[in-house]
Each structure stands twice: as structure tokens, then as C-alpha cells.
Chains A and B, each alone.
Chain A
């Protein structure tokens, strides 16, 4: 077996255990009231961190580039009540334009 094959088999197994622990062990069981209340707040900071990491981080470092213009364009589109698809396209176009100009 090649190194790549051993890696995707090994990493696949580890990843699956991480992914499945919650759904397999606890799936469908209602959580305590206090947990559920806090859990409704989790998506906000979670998504905020995802926006930050996917737009400004590259290989574990901050890299400020044209992607920021894309996220700004998406914010403007959302401000004007654009739908999901238009928002994503606006981000790509803005990023492409800024990259061309810089």
C-alpha cells in the first residue's frame, strides 16, 4: 500500500470515530433544558469563526487577500436582502475583480 492509501484509510477511520461519537452514542436523545438553551447560541460564534477562518486564514496563518473583498461584497448583498445564490456569486465576482486590479 502507498503512503497516501494508508493515510486516507487511517485518517478516514479516526475522522469517522470523531464524527459518529455524538450521533451514535447520543443520537435522538433530548438534552437537558440548560444544555439546549445554550446550544441555541452556539451556531452564532461557530459560524463567525468559520467565516473568519475561511476568509483570512491559510495554512494556519492570517493571510489578508482579495477574499476579504468577497466577504465584504457578500455582506453588502445580504444588507440589500439578496438571496443565498446571489450573495455567493457577488463574493466570487468581487474577489475576482479585486485580484485582477491588485
Chain B
């Protein structure tokens, strides 16, 4: 995979988060947040599902503590992503501390779709920066333009863009029998856990299942 191809993927996955950024801005406006509060979430929390969860709790009249815990549970997967990608993130301490802020679904997805370690680092940065910039711009547009936005995201089917982008990243793996097997196991584990586990946990469990199954199978 060339850097050009990786940059294109990063750009498209950034664009695919724009509808959700707009929707987050609108949700903030409806919950009575000011524009800079909405931007505070997108800049500092920077994790779509955690942001939606926290603002949702506040909008429903929940406490600050409940909002933080709800969001943190969803961002727990960033810890797993960080451990997974750590070997590829070579650089001085300050650099690693800086780029860690972009540890989200999309940057992890782009990075892990690349085998080569040096290019994997490039993919992480490209994916993370692309989403960070576009997510923050779309949050601002959403919160300021909430009144005129309406149901645009739903009407145009834009809420299907993120799963489609993830499917595109997983596709090459589905052509290989070994990978296909673990992919299926992961999907089944996530499907079983969704109704019973707190949000965010099914994704971690699916990813870590690989370790559990292999360790258990070892004599």
C-alpha cells in the first residue's frame, strides 16, 4: 500500500465521520450547549460515541459523574487500541504523548489495515489527523447551524458511511480463510455482548478474543 493510497483512505474515512460530527453538533445545540462547549468535547474528548453518550446523559438530566463514566466506558477501547498500536508508534516521548490524542476507531482501523510497521505509523497519523480536523469542523457547523440542519443526515443515508468504511478496510482480510474465521468469531462475540454488556465493551471483547482463544488452545 503506497502513502498516496493511505492518504486517500484517511481522507475518505475522515469525510465519512462528517455526518456524525454534524449530528453531534446538532445534539449539543438541542441539549442547550454553547458552541465552545460542543467544540470542547470534540477537541478534548475526541471519540464520537463517548461524546454522544456524555451529552446524551446531560440532556436527559443526568449528573456530570454519570456523563463522565458513561463516556469513559466507551473510550475504554482506546486503551486496547493504544496497546495494540504502541509497537508501531516510534518517536520521542513528547511526540507519542501528542499523537495519542488521535487514538480512535478510525485511526486504528486505517493503521491496522496496513502490515508494514513504518507505513502503519503513517496510516495512524493520516487517519487520526484527517478525522480530527474534519470532526471538529463538522461539530462547529452542526452546533451553529443546528436549526437549518434538520434530518439531513438521515435523509441522505449518511449514517451508513462509517460502517461502510470499516467494511472496506476489513474486506481484503475476508479473502483469507484464517482471517475470515477470526472475523466471524469477533462478529459473533460482539453480537452476543451488545444486549448485555455496557456500550463499548463488545468491541474490546471481540478484539481480545483472539488472545483468549489462542492462549486457551495452547497445550
Contacts and interface: CB of A to CB of B under 8 A. Distances in A.
A29 B85 CA distance: 10
Interface string A12-54: 1111101111111111111100001011111111111111111
Interface string A70-102: 110111001000001101101111111111000
Contact of B170 (A24, A31, A47, A98): A47
Contacts of B167: 47, 51, 71, 74-75, 78, 87
A92 to B, nearest CB: 4
Contacts of B171: 78
Nearest to B154: A99
A29 B82 CA distance: 13
Given A11-B54, A11-B68, A84-B12, A45 B189 contact: yes
A46 B112 contact: yes
B79 to A, nearest CB: 4
Contacts of A66: 157, 160
Interface in B47-73: 47, 50, 54-56, 58, 64, 67-68, 71-72
Sorting the interface of chain B by its residue count into under 10, 10 to 19, 20 to 34 or 35 or more gives: 35 or more
Contacts of B184: 48
Given A43-B173, A61-B195, 16 more contacts: A11-B68, A12-B43, A14-B72, A21-B82, A24-B93, A24-B100, A27-B89, A40-B115, A42-B207, A43-B112, A44-B186, A61-B194, A70-B157, A74-B167, A87-B167, A95-B160
Interface of B: 8-9, 12, 15-16, 31, 33-34, 37, 40-41, 43-47, 50, 54-56, 58, 64, 67-68, 71-72, 75-76, 78-79, 81-87, 89-91, 93, 96-97, 99-101, 103, 105, 108-109, 112-113, 115, 154-171, 173, 178-180, 182-187, 189-191, 194-195, 198-199, 202-203, 205-211, 214
Interface of A: 2-16, 18-31, 36, 38-55, 57, 59-62, 66-67, 69-71, 73-75, 78, 84-85, 87-88, 90-99
